[in-house]
Amino acid sequence: MRFLVCTPEAITLRKTVQETTVLMGTPSMQKQSSADKVLKVLDLFTEDAPAWTVEMLMTELGATRATTYRYLKALYDAGLLAPGAGSSYVLGPRIIQLDRQIRRSDPLLQIAVPLLEDERSPLIGAKNISSLYGDQVLSVYVERCDPDIVLTMQRGRVFPLVYGSPSRIILAYLPPYQMKNFYTANAEEVARAHLGDTWEEFRTSMRRLRKHGHCIGNEMNRTVVGISAPIFHDKSAVSASLSYVRRVEFTSDEQKAELVDLVMTAADRISKQLLSYKPENGAKGPVFTTPRMSG
């Protein structure tokens, strides 16, 4: 299951992947596209497993040495992998370059960050933007206002769609067929998250969130409360969420209500500017489409 969202960073990464997969058409894995094979290798590099040797990759992928070397060469030539200690490979410098490009060119960040930096309310302990990423949510921006606040949110961290207010408010605004497909594939996880034991119960809980226009929660971090509102790049296409976070111990019901107003107002301003976004360089701009689910 995968949501397909056409954003500048997605276009850049897709172009990079296409450049690296020309040599990857091995007959032993014809059921997968070349891009899938490359991404499968990159997905192995995590915080828990940051370095991989050829032998480790062969075992994990079930691939021959020759095939593994072809994968590594393509990724190395593209700068997506680099040599590491102990005859290993680690993530490469191209990823850092792409990260800088995203920070400087992503319309969402270019629009939202200046607006958030101007928001000086003392009620806000932290600000977060999270984007839809497959069947997960990716934290793309964090601004800490309270130096003593403890956050699990960090740029680059992914979270499940069913936990946390940044995720749930995005989930609530997915088109009906996507929401149905998500539930079908994740019914047990939805039930564990107390969002409904049946499709009807789940749909009702999502409808309730849409009616309110925001989500309040602290499932991922009990020391804080997060209040999130959706961000749209199209009138019917949710792609991100904005969250204001505050320490639970210092948050009254009245302050929650004020934070709700603040975050919904800011998210609406960001959405309106995204809807009117036009590329400034005259080149063909990003094609913002409603996320579609495949598989």
pLDDT tens digits, 96-154: 999 999 999 999 999 999 999 999 999 999 999 999 998 999 999 999 999 999 999 99
pLDDT above 80 for 88:
yes
Q: Do domains 2-98 and 106-281+286-294 have the same CATH topology?
A: no
The first and second tokens of residue 264, run together, are: 């919904």
* CATH class given for the domain over 2-98: mainly alpha
The first and second tokens of residue 276, run together, are: 């009117």
d(CA 212, CA 214): 6
Provide the residue ranges of all domains of the chain, joining segments of one domain with +: 2-98, 106-281+286-294
d(CA 102, CA 118): 21
The first and second tokens of residue 290, run together, are: 């409603």
* CATH class given for the domain over 106-281+286-294: alpha beta
pLDDT in tens, 11-60: 444 545 444 444 444 344 445 667 688 778 999 999 999 999 999 999 99
CB 141 within 8 A of CB 166: no
What is the pLDDT at residue 288? 43
pLDDT above 80 for 82:
yes
pLDDT above 90 for 211:
yes
What is the pLDDT at residue 194? 96
d(CA 76, CA 155): 25
Q: What is the mean pLDDT of the chain?
A: 87
